[in-house]
Structure 1
Amino acid sequence: MTSTTINRLIRREVLSRVWGERLVMFFKLAILAVYILGSFAASQDQNFSFNGFLSKKLSLGGIAEFTSNGILQLTNASRQQVGHAFYPDTIRFKNSSNSSTTFSFSTTFVFAIRSAYPTLSGHGIAFVIAPTRGIPHALPSHYPGFFNETNNGNSNNHIVVVELDTIQMREFGDINDNHVGIDINGLNSSMSYPAGYYANNGGQFQNLTLISGKAMQVWVEYNGVDKQMNVTLAPINIVGKPNKPLLSLSVDLSSVIEETMYVGFSSSTGSVGTSHYVLGWSFKINGQAQELSLSQLPKLPRIGPKKTSRVLTIELPVISIVLVSAAISGAVYYIRRRRKFAEVLEDWELCYGTHRFKYKALYIATKGFREKELLGAGGFGRVYRGVLPSSKFEIAVKRVSHESRQGMKEFVAEIVSIGRLRHWNLVQLLGYCRRIGELLLVYDYMPNGSLDKVLHDQPMFSLNWNHRFRVIKGVASGLFYLHEEWEQVVVHRDVKVSNVLLDGELNGRLGDFGLARLYDHGTDPQTTRVVGTLGYLAPEHMRTGKATTSTDVYAFGAFLLEVACGRRPIEPRAQSENLILVDWVFACWSRGDIRRAVDPNLDANYVVEEVELVMKLGLMCSNSEPSARPSMRQVLQYLEGEIAMPELTSLGISATGLTFTHREGFDDVAMSCPKMPVRVVDNSVPPQVSGADPGHTSPPACTLLSVGQMTELIF
C-alpha cells in the first residue's frame, strides 16, 4: 500500500469522526429546541374562545348538555343533580411541577340562571380549575358538584373555584343567598361579596340578582407576578367591563394549582329545579382573554307556562319547609298579620257566598280605615270611603261594634236578604264582614254625601227647589218599593235626611238599612222595641214599640217638612222651649200663610204649588192617627200629580183642633233624652226665620239608644 493510499484512508476516518460528532451535537440541539419551543408554546399560546357551543368541543358530565341553538345547559329542572363541562385538554399553568410561579391567566364567560320560582333556585354555577375533569365523588345540592362532606377544605384537592352562589349555607359562612365568592380547596370562601357591579360613571354599587334569568358576564383574572386575583360581574347590557372589580384577593396559587389543570364549569340543583346556562366562554394563559362577541351569542330559551300540578303536590311542601326553617322572622310577621285581619266565619255563613267581604280587602280599600277616608260618624258606627283593590269600585264601609253573638245568624240573614233589594233610589247594600266585636256593612259610595249636610252644615253647594223636589220623589219611590213592590215588606224604621244620600247627579237614595226589619206581606211585624231618631218617631211607635209601614210614613212626613223648610224636626231655641217643626208648619197653615215656613235659602225660586203640596203632604203624613196617614203608594201618586191631594180640613184636620202629636208616648221620649224637652202643640207662630236665626243651628244628635243598647237590641 502506497503512502498516498494510506493518507487518503486517514483523512476519510478523520472526516467520518468529525461528521459523527457534528450529527450527535445537531440532534442534541434539535431535541433541546423542541423542548424549549414546547414549553414556550404551552405557556404562551394556550387560549380559546367560544361564542356559543355549536361546535360542541367541551367534555360534558352529569346532566350537562348542549341545546340545539348552541347553549351549554349545565342543569335543568331535575332535582339533586350535577352538571359539568370542561375544556377537553389540559392547560399548562407552570413551567414545571416544581415551579414556584403560576402563570397569569384570564377568562370571561356569559351565564344565566333560571328557576321555576322567582325567589328560589338551585345552588348556583361555578368556574372551576381542577386536576381532573370528572371531580370524582362530588355531591349535588350545597356541594355544587365539586366537593363532598369528606374532602371539603382538604388542601390536597388542588381546586380553585369562583362561585356564583344563590343559596345561603350558614355552615360554610355564606354572607347571603345572592353572592360571588372565591373558594380554594373548599366551600368556605376566601372572599365573597353580594352580587353586583361598580358603575363606571361615579363608582356607585349596583345590585344584581343572579336568579333573575337575565344574562350576565363574569371576568376572572389572575396576575402570577403580583399574586392578585380579581373577579368582576356585570349585566351584558352595559358597555365593556367595569373598571373596579367586585372582588380583589391577594393570593398565591402556586401551591394550589399544579403544572397542568383542567378548566370548566360545575353546577348543581337541590330541592328546586333550576336551569344553569353558559352562553359563551373565552380563556387565555399569560394574556387577556379574547372579548366575547355578545351579538353572536345564542338566545336564551323563552320562558313557557309553569306546571302547577307538580308544584302544588310535590315541590310546594318542600319549599315551605325550607322557607319555615330559614325565615322565623317571616313566620312571626305572618302570624301578626293574620291576627290583624282575623275574621269571624261560621259554617252557616258559607251559603251567603259573594255577600261576605274579606276584612283584608276592606282594610286595603279604606287605606287602613284612615281618618282621611272618614265620611261621617253616628250613633251606630263610623262610615269610611274605600276603593276595592281588585275592581277599583268605590264603596262606603260602615263599622258597627257588637259584643253579643245572640241572634247574629238571623241578623246577618236579614242583611243578606236586604242586599237583594234593587231600586234606583235605594243605596245598594253590597254585603258584610264579621270580626270579633265588630260588624262591617258595605254600601255603594255616594260622592255628594248626605242630604243632612247639604241642608244644614254650610255645604259647598246648595240644592235648588228642582233638586229638592226630585230628591223627595226619589225617596218616596224607594219607600214605596220597600213597602209594596218587593217580595217582602221592608220597614226601614229610620227614615231621615241624614240617611238620604246624594249620588253624582244629585239623585236622592235612601240608605242605612241597619235598623230595617223584614216580614211577609199580609202579616204583622213582631218588633217590640223602640228604635229610631227623635223627631221622626211616630207616637204609636214610642207607645207600643211596634214599627210598621205607617211609622215609616210618619218619618217621611218629618222628612218632607225638613226638606221644604230647611229646619230640623226639633231645634233648640234661645228661649226655654224648643222649636217643633210640625207645630210651626201647622201654625203657618192654620193662619193661611204656609209659605212663611219655606226655607229662606230658596230665595223664592220655587214652584209655589209644589212647595205647598210637599208641606201639606208632610202635615198629612205627620197625623198622630196611623189610619189617617196615606200609604206610600198614595204619597207617590200625590207627588206625581196622578191624583189630587185632598184638603187638610176634609181629613178632619182643622185650624183649631189638630191632633198631630198627642202627649201620650212623648213623655217616654223625654225621659230618654232629658236635654231636649218635647212640648205640646200650640197655635203660636214663631218669629220670621232669617239666616242668623238660631233655629238654624245644628242641635246635638239625640238617638234613642247608644251603640251598646242598639247591638243588645238586635243581636
Structure 2
Amino acid sequence: MLNFLQSRAMEHLPMSFLVAFLLLCLSLNLPGFCVAGGNDSFVFAGFAAGAENLTLDGTAAVTREGLLGLTNNEPGVKGHAFYRIPLQFKDSPNGTAQSFSLAFVFAILSASSDLSTDGMAFVIAPGKDFSNASPAQYLGLLDSHSTGPSGNPFFAVELDTIKNDEFQDIDDNHVGIDIDALSSVESSSAAFHDDKDGTLKNLSLISTDGELIQVWVDYDGEAKQINVTLAPMGVAKPSKPLLSNTTDLSAVITDHAYAGFSAATGPIKSRHCVLAWSFAMNGPAPPIDFKKMPKLPHSGHNHKTLMKVLEIALPAAAFVALLACIAVFVIVQRKLAYDELREDWEVEFGPHRFSYKELFMATEGFKSKHLLGAGGFGKVYKGVLPKSKLEVAVKRVSHDSSQGIKEFVSEVVSIGHLRHRNLVQLLGYCRRKGELLLVYDYMPSGSLDKYLYGEENKPLLEWPQRLQIIKDVASGLYYLHEKWEQVVIHRDIKASNVLLDGAMVAHLGDFGLARLYDHGTDLQTTHVVGTMGYIAPELSRTGKASPLTDVFAFGTFLLEVTCGRRPVSNSVQHGRAMLVDRVLEYWHRGALEETVDSRLQGNYNVDEARMVLTLGLMCSHPFPGERPTMRQVMQYLDGDAPLPELAPANMSLLSLMRNQLSFDQSVLQYPWSATSMGTMTPGISVGR
C-alpha cells in the first residue's frame, strides 16, 4: 500500500480522496463482518460489527460480545432478526428463484438438560413483519388463530425441540424443511453423516455443555433441490446432506425477499442463539472465521453470582477454608446427583438392581440423542452399560412411593425371571426419588408399528414376515398365560409394544401394566388400563383383567397386522371407526380377503390371511366365554387343530348388542372424546 501511495499516479490525486480511500480499506478489515460482491453475499463471524445491518424485533438482541440472541430465556416469547437489505432472488417477479447458499452456527440453551421449548428457524420471506405470529410451537412464524396459509409466505428450515402432533412432527429433536407451513415437506431427526466411517450420528439440538452446531442450506435453482446439512462444531461440512428435497421455491420466494431467523419459547425457559452467519447468491457461502465468533454465556448464573459475592465478602484469611467448603459441596452434590431410594426390604431384590450412576453413564445423562421413544408411561433411552458394554433400553417411569411401590417392585423383579425367546428380557430396575427406571434388552429393529404404518422409512413387511410375527407374539403370550409358574396378564398388547430384534424376531415387551396371579385364583379388580381399541368390553365395565382380556387385545392385534390399519381411525366423514367393525362387515359380505393390507398388492397366501382374520374376529368376540384361549390360538396358527366356522347368527351378536338389547353401545365402541378422557381412569391411553 505504501508503494502504491508513493507512485507517480497517486501524487496527482487530491489528499481528500487518499484519506477516504484509506478509511474504506480499514473498514473492510473490521472484525466479524464483511460484504463481498455487493448485497448478494455477506458474512457475520459474530454480530458486534455490522449489527446495524440487522433488523431486530421481539426479544431479539445483539450482546456486547456479538452474540445474536433471538430469545431471552423467558417463557412464551418470540424474536426475529433479518438482514436489513432485501436480497434479489429473481431477475423479475415472474422469474425463477436463483441458487443460494448459506451457513450459520447456533446453540439452544435451556435450564433443563434434555428439554427445551420450542425451536428456531432460518427464514426467507417477502416481508419482515411477523408481529401477528405466535410463540411456542408456532416458532414466531404463524398465527395460532389462523387456519390457512400465512399472509407473509415463507421458506424455512426449522430446528425444533418439541414434538407437536398438529404439525405431524416426527420427534422432539428434528430438522424440517417448511414451505409456508409448519408441517414440514421433509424432516429428519437431528444427525449428521460422518465422512470418516459413513455412519449417521445423532445430534442433540439442545446445548447442554456449550456445544455448537453448524447448519448449511443450499438451493440449486436449476435442479430445484434443497439440501440441509448439519455437523457439530469442529467437523467439516459432510459430503452427504441430512435432508434433500426437490421443491421449486419460485412459487414461494418473491423477486426481492428478506433472509433471517425466527425463534420462540413455550413454557420452558430457553435461549436461542446465533453466533455466525454467511450467505451468498449463485455461489458458495463465504467461509466463516470461527476464531472471531463470540463465546456462549455460562448457564450457571447463580453459581457465578455466588462466587463473586464470596470473593468480595470473605477475607483472604478464609480462602483455604472456603476451598475446603467448596470441595465438600462438590462431593455432596455429586453424591446427591446419583442418590437413590433403597429400603431394607429391597435387599432381597439386589441381583436385579442397577445403580443410578451406572444408568446415567450408560445413557450419557439421558441425552435426547439417545431417546428411542416416549409414551404415557415414560421415556425410553438407548444405553450401553459401562462395564459389560451391553446395549440396553432404559425406561424412566414416574411413581408415587406411597402407593404400593413395594408390591410393584416385587412384581417387576418377578417378571424379570421370565425367560422366553418372544419376550423382551427385563434385566433389572433402579429406584430414585420420584421415578422408577426399568432396564430391558435393546431391540435394534425397533417397534412393529413403525413397519406397519411406514414410519421412519421402514420397509414394507411381506406376508410371511407378518404371519411369523403373529406366531411369535402368540407364543410369548401363551407362555405368560399358561406355561410359567404364575399367570401373567400383560394388559397392554399392541403393535407399538411388539419389538423386533436384528433378525426381525418379534418380542412382546413393556410389562409396565402387567399383573401376576397364581394359577387357579380369582383375579382381583383393578383400574382400567390399556389402549383404546384393545380394551375388552367387560374390562371397561368391571375393571377386572383376565387372560381373556389379553386375548381380546390379541384379536385386535391380529386384525391390525393383517389389514395394516390402526384399531381406531378418525375421519371427518365417518368420525371414529373401529377396525373390527370393518372386518366384520366384509365377513358378512363374504369378502374377508378385501380387508388385507392393500400395500401387499395381492402377494399373500389367501387361506392363511382368511384364517388369521377369522381368528381375529373370534378373539374379539364381545363375550369372553366365546373367545379361544391362547393354547387354542397356538393350535390354530400351527395347523394342529382346524379353525371353527363362524356362525352368522353368532357373529351378528355384535350388531344386536349395538341395538342395546343387552349393553350400552358406548361400552362396545369406546367413543371417548379427547375432552371426556380426563374423567376416565388415567391408565387408558390412545393407540398409535
The TM-score normalised by the length of structure 1 is 0.48
Give, in whole Å, the separation in 2 of the partners of 1:702 and 1:446.
33
Instruction: Choose 447-456 or 652-661, whichever is displaced more.
Output: 652-661
Displacement of 1:463: 1.1
Whether the aligned pair in 2 keeps the contact of 1:623 and 1:660 (CA below 8 Å) is: no
Alpha carbons of structure 1 residues 346 and 604: separation in structure 2 relative to 1, 3 Å = same
1:398 equivalent to 2:414? Answer no
Q: Percent identity?
A: 56
Look up the match of 1:430.
427
Q: Which residue of 1 aligns with 2:636?
A: 638
Give the Å deviation of 1:464: 0.9
Structure 1 counterpart of 2:544:
546
Q: Say which of 351, 354, 359 aligns to 2:351.
A: 354
The residue correspondences of 1:8-27 to structure 2 (distance < 5 A) are none
Residue in 2 that maps onto 1:607: 605
What CA distance in whole angstroms lies between the structure 2 residues aligned with 1:504 and 1:324?
A: 57
Q: Within 5 Å, which residues of 2 pair with 1:306-385? A: 327-385=324-382
Correspondence for 1:563: 561
Q: Go from structure 1 to structure 2 and tell me whether the alpha carbon gap of 1:371 and 1:626 turns closer, same or farther (over 3 Å shift).
A: same
The amino acid that maps onto 1:426 is L
Task: Give the drift of 1:338.
Answer: 1.1
**Pair 1:583–1:670, CA change in 2 (3 A):** closer
Q: Residue deviations 1:417-470, cap 9 Å, x none?
A: 010000000001111111111111111111111111111243322211111111
Q: Secondary structure at the match of 1:652?
A: helix
Tell me the secondary structure at the aligned position of residue 572 of structure 1. Answer: strand
Question: In the alignment, which residue of structure 1 is the partner of 2:585?
Answer: 587
Alignment of 1:243-254 (within 5 A): none
User: Which structure has the larger Rg?
Assistant: 1
Q: Give how far 1:652 is off.
A: 2.6
Q: The residue matched to 2:393 in structure 1 has which SS?
A: strand
Q: Any idea what SS the aligned residue of 2:531 has?
A: coil
Cα distance change, pair 462–704 in 1 and its aligned pair in 2 (3 A): farther
1:509 alignment counterpart: 507
Aligned to 1:673: 672
* Alignment partner of 1:465 is 2:463: yes
Cα separation, 2, equivalents of 1:406 and 1:676: 27
Letter in structure 1 aligned against 2:368: E
Report SS of the residue matched to 1:468: helix
- Equivalent residues in 2 for 1:69-468 (5 A)? 327-458=324-455, 459-468=457-466
- Given that 2:533 and 2:670 are in contact with CA atoms closer than 8 Å, whether structure 1 keeps it comes out as no
TM score, norm. by length of structure 2 = 0.50
Aligned residues: 364
> Partners in 2 of 1:324 and 1:412 — Cα distance?
44
Deviations 1:311-343 (A, max 9, x none): xxxxxxxxxxxx999854333222111111111
Deviation at 1:651, TM superposition (A): 8.2
Secondary structure in structure 1 of the residue aligned to 2:488 = strand
Partner deviation per Cα, 1:142-181 (whole Å, 9 max, x = no partner)? xxxxxxxxxxxxxxxxxxxxxxxxxxxxxxxxxxxxxxxx
Give the distance between the partners of 2:656 and 2:461, measured in 1 at CA: 32
Q: Is the 8 A contact 2:469 2:506 kept in 1?
A: yes
Give deviations 1:618-643, integer Å, cap 9, x for gaps.
Answer: 00000001000000000011001111
Q: Structure 1 residues 566 and 351, CA, compared in 2 at 3 Å: closer, same or farther?
A: same
Q: Is the 8 A contact 1:539 1:665 kept in 2?
A: no
Residue 575 of structure 2: SS of its match in structure 1? coil
Q: Is 2:450–2:458's contact at 8 Å kept on the other side of the alignment?
A: no
Check the 8 A contact 2:392/2:440 in 1, yes or no.
yes
Q: What is the rounded CA distance, in whole Å, between the counterparts of 2:564 and 2:578 in structure 1?
A: 13
Q: Which amino acid aligns with 1:608?
A: V
Listed as ranges, the gaps of 5+ residues in structure 1 are 1-322, 678-700, 711-715
Deviation of 1:656 after TM superposition, in Å, equals 9.3
Partner of 1:531: 529
- The residue identity in structure 1 corresponding to 2:532 is L
Q: Which amino acid aligns with 1:411?
A: F
Change (3 A) 1:595 1:340: same
How far residue 600 of structure 1 moved from its aligned partner, in angstroms, is 1.0
* Partner residue, 2:113: none
Kindly provide the CA deviation profile for residues 558-588 of structure 1, in whole angstroms up to 9, marking residues without a partner as x.
0000000011111001214222100000111
Q: Aligned partners of 2:508 and 2:626: how far apart in 1? A: 24
Residue 441 of structure 1 aligns to a residue in which SS? strand
After TM superposition, the structure 1 = structure 2 runs for residues 27-106 of structure 1, keeping only pairs within 5 Å, are none
> Quick one: structure 1 residues 703 and 443, their matched pair in 2 at CA, closer, same or farther if it must change by over 3 Å?
farther
- Which string of whole-angstrom CA distances, capped at 9 and with x for unpartnered residues, describes residues 379-399 of structure 1? 111111111011010111111
Partner of 2:621: helix, strand, or coil? coil
Which whole-Å deviations, capped at 9, do the CAs of 1:588-647 have from their partners, x for residues lacking one?
111011111011111211111111111110000000010000000000110011111011
Partners of 2:321 and 2:415 lie apart in 1 by 45
2:316 matched to which residue of 1?
none
- Over 3 Å counting, the alpha-carbon distance change for 1:665 and 1:598 in structure 2 is same
Aligned-partner residue type, residue 490 of structure 1: V
Residue 623 of structure 1 corresponds to which residue in structure 2? 621
* Matched position secondary structure for 2:651: coil
The change in CA–CA distance for 1:403 and 1:635 in structure 2 (over 3 A counts) is: same
- 2:622 and 2:559 mapped to 1: Cα distance? 16
Alignment-derived partner of residue 276 in structure 1: none
Q: CA RMSD in A?
A: 2.8
- Taking a change above 3 Å as real, the CA distance of residues 573 and 604 of structure 1, as seen in their structure-2 partners, is same
One-letter code aligned to 2:587: W
1:491 matched to 2:498? The reply is no
- Give the Cα–Cα distance (whole angstroms) in 1 for the partners of residues 478 and 678 of structure 2: 27
Contact 1:355 1:430 in 2 (8 A): yes
2:595 is matched with 597
Q: Separation in 1 of the partners of 2:471 and 2:673? A: 35
- The one-letter code of the counterpart of 1:444 is D
8 Å Cα contact 1:357-1:431 kept in structure 2: yes
Cα distance, 1:576–1:348 mapped onto 2, change above 3 Å: same
Q: 1-side partners of 2:591 and 2:336: how far apart?
A: 63
Question: Contact 2:532/2:670 (CA < 8 Å) preserved in 1?
Answer: no
* TM-superposed deviation, 1:672: 8.7
Secondary structure of 1:579 counterpart: strand
Please report how far the alpha carbon of residue 702 of structure 1 lies from its aligned counterpart in structure 2 after TM superposition: 10
> What's the counterpart of residue 214 of structure 1?
none
Return the letter of the residue paired with 2:418. L
Residue 248 of structure 1: aligned partner: none
The CA deviation string for residues 72-100 of structure 1, in whole angstroms up to 9 with x for no partner, is xxxxxxxxxxxxxxxxxxxxxxxxxxxxx
Over 3 Å counting, the alpha-carbon distance change for 1:517 and 1:606 in structure 2 is same
Q: Could you tell me whether the CA contact under 8 Å between 2:578 and 2:669 is conserved in 1?
A: no
Amino acid paired to 2:407: E
1:625–1:668: structure 2 CA closer, same or farther, 3 Å change rule? closer
